[in-house]
Structure 1
């Protein structure tokens, strides 16, 4: 999703440079993640504690078996505090997924900025995918549920929105760098197709036994996505 004031600039290299600088500044804000930037630090800490509590509990038992009271107890807050921050467990789950994807993108961005990159390149996008898959693997049962037929519609939509943003960066970079031939396919349509394939691939990987390492899965998925970005001409 674009940040405020960036919608017009998102499709240009200069726009992405400004966006990276903007995100770099956010990394140095106390208690910051993209999701909690500008929020009261105490509220941010409580929400992060609730998110981490849900993820920890989901590694131990099914999501259906986890109650709001369980989450509050694990986070070290009163049950009433939960409802001061979240309407229900599904909204908390969606925020936890948001934070996972945002952290993956932020960590890869930090690597890119440290190397002097001003626009996302293949290695930075691949690193984003690797970090995201590391989180997904550590919380495999939860992500299988989210991506499954009976998963949370809100959490799935939020994750799809975040992945759309990462895919869009890759597509725009590939088009502007000349890495793929010019085509007249609308970017939004291409983003939907590619991110849909990425989510399906992640879901399949999470069900593999034994499950390949996140780095291997990221390389496979990136190969598939890179191939799908090259238009096929008759």
Structure 2
């Protein structure tokens, strides 16, 4: 959100909130019209904020990923071993995905949007890059971002695989353990 005008910010937040409410109810009925009707915001205002519905989806789900990444960054010590904190934050975020299972299946599934997948990878990569930089500040920006994107792609890919069943086949806790265990291995390999 680059524009800091309070009216602009309020409208954008209302659009995000309406999208999330509607998506929780029935993602198949999502449309620009439904979001505008829910918020009382006209279509022209919607299009000042987003070019397409895909842009709103990527923005709203990306913002939720940003919130989880910010919490993770706040706990990062640069040791790479703050497992308990990373676990709690990841479980919380995956619980959110499980609570909104149909939405994330819709958004990240075959009929979803590559913009959303890209937004989640980019936002996850930011947190991974933050930790990698603390672990090895000598990495070039290009190498840092390459490695972070590699790990983030695996994390998002694991979530997409998790979403491939009608309901969660494993718990958020179990998926977190798998992701963190594999991520630790990837981080080790990414550094050396």
TM class, shorter-length:
0.7 to 0.9
Alignment of 1:133-144 (within 5 A): 133-144=94-105
For 2:33 and 2:44, how far apart are their aligned partners in 1? 9
Match of 1:8 in 2: none
Alignment of 1:36-47 (within 5 A): 39-47=4-12
Residue by residue, what CA displacement relative to the aligned partner does 1:64-115 show, whole Å, maximum 9, x if unpaired? x3221111122232333322322221111111122111111234455x3xxx
Q: Which runs of 5+ in 2 are unaligned?
A: 138-142
TM-superposed deviation, 1:118? 6.1
Aligned length, in residue pairs: 183
Aligned alpha-carbon RMSD (Å): 2.9
TM-superposed deviation, 1:157? 1.4
Alignment of 1:76-91 (within 5 A): 76-91=40-55
Residue by residue, what CA displacement relative to the aligned partner does 1:152-178 show, whole Å, maximum 9, x if unpaired? 1222211111111122223333446xx
Match of 1:202 in 2: 159
Normalised to the residue count of structure 2, the TM-score between the two structures is 0.78
- Aligned equivalent of 1:221, options 165, 176, 179: 179
For 1:100 and 1:210, how far apart are their aligned partners in 2? 20
Q: Which runs of 5+ in 1 are unaligned?
A: 1-34, 177-185
Shift of the 189–118 alpha-carbon distance from structure 1 to 2, 3 Å rule, reads closer
**Cα pair 1:94 1:155 within 8 Å, conserved:** yes
Shift of the 67–97 alpha-carbon distance from structure 1 to 2, 3 Å rule, reads same
TM-superposed deviation, 1:120? 7.8
For 2:168 and 2:10, how far apart are their aligned partners in 1? 36
For 1:192 and 1:75, how far apart are their aligned partners in 2? 35
For 2:79 and 2:104, how far apart are their aligned partners in 1? 26
Match of 1:97 in 2: 61
| Structure ranking higher in helix proportion | 2
**Cα pair 1:91 1:154 within 8 Å, conserved:** yes
- Aligned equivalent of 2:117, options 133, 156, 181: 156
TM-superposed deviation, 1:188? 3.6
Residue by residue, what CA displacement relative to the aligned partner does 1:31-74 show, whole Å, maximum 9, x if unpaired? xxxx46x61222112111111211221122234x3221111122
TM-superposed deviation, 1:135? 2.8
Structure with higher Rg: it is 1
Shift of the 120–87 alpha-carbon distance from structure 1 to 2, 3 Å rule, reads farther
Whether 1:74 aligns to 2:32 is no
Shift of the 62–81 alpha-carbon distance from structure 1 to 2, 3 Å rule, reads same
TM-superposed deviation, 1:221? 0.8
